[in-house]
Amino acid sequence: MKKSSKLAKAIARTVLDHPFFATLLLRMQLHEDRDIKTACTDGKQIRYNPDFIDPLSVDQTVFVLAHLVMHVAHFHPLRRSARDRGRFNKAGDYAINGILRDAGLSLLPGALYHKSFDNLAAEQIYDRLPNGSGDGDGEGGENDIDDMDDPGGCGGFEDAKDEYGRPLSKAERQRQEAEMTVAIQQAAQAAKAQGKLPGSLARLVNELVHPVLDWREILRSFIDHTARHDYSWNQPNRRHIADGIYLPSFRSNGLKPLVLAIDTSGSITQRELNQFQAELNDILYSYPATVHVVYCDSDISETRTVTPDHYPVDLKFVGCGGTDLCPPFDWAVKNVPEAGCIIYLTDLKGDSPETDPGIPTLWVSTTRDRDLPERYQPRFGKIALLE
């Protein structure tokens, strides 16, 4: 369908002034759709109501196009899962509108923006939003928060579907994320070549190259990789017995011992230690795991071996001296050579081993690895951010 003159001018303006957004925009198809109130995207196409576009200025239309593109660049059509649609759309607006404003675009009146949400992902913002109605803190006025598809009135997003209109499989979702990651990197290169890559967009690209992963999910993958597991009725799941519900427990055969190292140099807060403690206890709930807890600052101050029989386990601060991340690895090689993995809670601001000890390592870090000086970047293992 032929684009309106307004839309054509906005696309041309985007190409000239905002090459990052333009590179991603030109990958998508645009379709007129009078059945929607404003505009929306599913990651592959943009649908818009001309009655929404026509009253806007060219600059405002550029903002709407860039807004929709940024929903896609943040994978919002792929990541809603079971979250409330309207609330996740609202969180998505908060996540991207600050970036668009930093890029020099003028937000529409009523667009959702709040400084407290700067540099947060939609998932994080979603958890901080109140349930139910909105709070009316758009930059320019009240918002139609009852509109599930576009609470901010700037263009929303809907779940990505396959060619038959069905929800995407996990493999297809991962494929689309990989394709979009490449497209974002190419868009960044095009914008950088023209000297038009704002710092906020550069950070977005950096996060894609150095992703902040869900440390709980990675932790489970480390444990699962170590064990041969299945469900068993021999020992019912203790978590549900109190409610009179008997379910099989998750049991493993041949689970290798785990080493849990804790940086006690003073950089880990009690709140972070509590998060880690909760995850350790969940491991003990779900697996017949033997866990060797190693407390270390500049040297090992204490070790402890725990099993599911010790549930629940309390972690504590022991030490609070300098920082050296090497001793737990030396200790593990000497005392637990058959360890399935080493999980290290730390801010990474200390010297780590020069050579890989040969034990799968997960650094659960309180500091983003890209914010660390190069000398503190670990030479092996995976890094997951504890937030």
Q: Where are the domains of the chain?
A: 5-206, 215-385
CATH class of the 215-385 domain in this structure:
alpha beta
Q: Which residues contact 379 (CB under 8 A, 6 or more apart)?
A: 352, 353, 354, 355, 356
H-helix or E-strand containing 300? strand 300-306
Length reported for the chain: 387
Q: What is the mean pLDDT of residues 31-37?
A: 94
Which tens digit of pLDDT belongs to each residue from 75-127?
999 999 889 999 999 999 999 999 999 999 999 999 999 999 988 889 889 98
Q: Look-up: residue for tokens 């803190």?
A: 137
Q: Write down the pLDDT at residue 251.
A: 47
Q: What is the mean pLDDT of residues 22-38?
A: 94
Q: Look-up: residue for tokens 């204490």?
A: 302
Decide which of 107 and 383 is more confident. 107
Q: Which residues contact 265 (CB under 8 A, 6 or more apart)?
A: 297, 298, 319, 320, 321, 322, 323, 350
The DSSP bridge partners found for residue 382 are 362
Q: Write down the pLDDT at residue 366.
A: 84
Which tens digit of pLDDT belongs to each residue from 181-207?
888 988 998 898 899 998 888 877 876
Handedness of CA 268, 272, 276, 281 (dihedral sign): positive
- Residue 120 neighbours by CB distance under 10 Å: 17
Q: Write down the pLDDT at residue 210.
A: 54
SS3 percent helix, strand, coil of the chain, rounded to 5, is 40, 20, 40
The pTM of this model reads 0.57
On whether the CB atoms of residues 63 and 105 are closer than 8 A, the answer is yes
Cα separation, 245 vs 369, whole angstroms: 43
The listed range with the strongest mean pLDDT (48-52, 316-320, 367-371) is 48-52
Q: What is the mean pLDDT of residues 20-28?
A: 94
H-helix or E-strand containing 184? helix 170-193
Which tens digit of pLDDT belongs to each residue from 251-293?
445 578 899 999 988 777 878 888 788 878 877 877 778 999 9
Cα separation, 252 vs 114, whole angstroms: 47
The listed range with the strongest mean pLDDT (61-65, 121-125, 144-148, 221-225) is 61-65
Q: Is the pLDDT of residue 326 over 60?
A: yes
Supply 117's token pair.
């949400």
Q: Taking Cα atoms as reference points, which of 16, 9, 29 lies closest to residue 69?
A: 29
Supply 63's token pair.
């903002």
